[in-house]
Amino acid sequence: MAVERLVVVDRTAFLHRPDYRVVRVLALLGLVVVWELVTRTGWVSSLFLPAPSGVLAEGLDMARSGQLFVHLMTSLERLALGFGVGAVAGVSVGVAVGFFALADAVAQPIIAATFPIPKIALLPLLIL
Amino acid sequence: MRVVVERVAKTFHDRRGRDVVALGQVGFAVESREFVALLGPSGCGKSTLLSIIAGLLPASAGRVYFEGESLPGRAPLTATVFQEFALFPWRTVRANVQLGLEELGITGLERVERTRRYLDMTGLDGFESKYPHQLSGGMRQRVGIARALAVEPAVLLMDEPFSALDAQTRTLMMDELLGIWERTRQTILYVTHNIQEAVFMADRVIVLSRRPGEVLDVVPIKLPRPRREGQQGDPVFVQTADRIWGLIKSQAQAALLDDEVVTERED
């Protein structure tokens, strides 16, 4: 039999994934640049897709006039109210289901049936 | 074939970008048909070194090579027996043992016969159709050993193969492994942190320091073979074990007090 010498090579080298950090940042910046170009060139009307520069300028205007904060407060109020109502109702039902077998029997099938529906899909229904 | 580990070093980078030196500079050789134990305190890079030899981890410096008469057929350079068995739960004992042969493209009668031979050798006769979850820890590790032996590698790498077993089972398994080694003279590199285990089984014990791991000494074990359990009371056994403990004691203490705990495989 032949005498030979075999050097061990890393057999997992193909699994090595370099960490392209610069590319990650560039990808995001690239998206913004393409977005800007698409509207600047008039390829997509700014009525449907305003350019990022336009969005920023409008935001600054609204902040200066104080309008932005009026709307922001309205949204935050709704958010707080919604969270409050939802949390109280949810925790109450949860505690009831945990403590009482009867409540569990009533609620569990309903929860199991409706849970997989993405919440965002219910949004249009709630707005109506 | 003999294995030569030549100035192998390994540095990991942890998540905060700091360098952790797992292996300083390690060099030794395992001769063909030899049973060598690699002993060291926890976290000294024993398992890291084994992974490098198996080609599962790149070394930061140095190299590992195998030399000697080339292996017959399609035999691989290494096969590993893992501490946690690493069996496929959906495969029967027979199918688990056969796995490496399938990977090597060995088919037909040769595959059947080789599977049979190693099932018998490891005492799995009658358990071929069981699944891993139906077996005790000792029986599971027999499957791990049979699977690794079946591919007839140049070197069998064993990474603390019996440390997940209870003490009695471990003693029995050590005896059986020695029996298999007497019959096959399969080259074995056996990683352990148990001094008695290393001295009882090995021809030579390579003692590693704590992290960064370096070879403290290579201790030849001058106990006659075949080894018997009774030899654990032999003065040579006791003296050798004492000598190794002397080498390793301060290292183990220092490792215990080490403030930074870094898992060996962190990358």
What pLDDT is stored for residue B266 in this prediction?
41
Angle made by CA atoms B135, B37, B236, in degrees to the nearest 5:
110
Task: Find tokens 């005896």 and name the residue.
Answer: B175
Name the pTM for this structure: 0.78
CA distance B47 to chain A (A): 15
B57 Cβ contact list (under 8 Å, min separation 6): A10, A12, B10, B48, B51
Q: Do A8 and B56 touch (CB under 8 A)?
A: no
A9 Cβ contact list (under 8 Å, min separation 6): B55
Contact, B53 vs B5, CB < 8 A?
yes
What pLDDT is stored for residue A17 in this prediction?
85
CA-to-CA distance for B201 and B263, rounded, in angstroms?
Answer: 28
Q: With 70 as the cut, is the pLDDT of residue B208 above it? A: yes
DSSP E strand boundaries for B82-231 = 155-159, 188-192, 204-208, 215-220
Q: Kindly report, residue by residue over B82-132, the tens digit of the pLDDT.
A: 999 999 999 999 999 999 999 999 999 999 999 999 999 999 999 999 999
Among A4-8, B26-30, B31-35, the range scoring the smallest mean pLDDT is A4-8
Q: Do A8 and B52 touch (CB under 8 A)?
A: yes
At B264, the pLDDT band (50, 70, 90 cuts) reads very low
Q: Do A8 and B55 touch (CB under 8 A)?
A: yes
DSSP-derived letter for residue B213 is B
What pLDDT is stored for residue B212 in this prediction?
85
Tokens of B103: 């990977």
- Residue B169: name the closest of B147, B196, B142, B199 by CA: B142
A54-82 average pLDDT score? 92
Tell which A residues from 13 to 32 touch B, by Cβ distance under 8 Å.
13
Alpha-carbon torsion (A53, A56, A59, A60), positive or negative:
negative
Tokens of A107: 């609620």
Predicted complex ipTM exceeds 0.85: no
CA-to-CA distance for B196 and B55, rounded, in angstroms?
Answer: 29
Residue of B67, B80, B155, B267 to mutate when probing chain A, most A C-beta within 10 A:
B67
CA-to-CA distance for B62 and B27, rounded, in angstroms?
Answer: 9
Residues of chain B contacting A1 with CB distance shorter than 8 Å: 69-70, 72
Q: With 50 as the cut, is the pLDDT of residue B38 above it? A: yes
Q: Kindly report, residue by residue over A2-52, the tens digit of the pLDDT.
A: 678 889 888 888 888 888 999 999 999 999 999 999 888 888 887 788 888
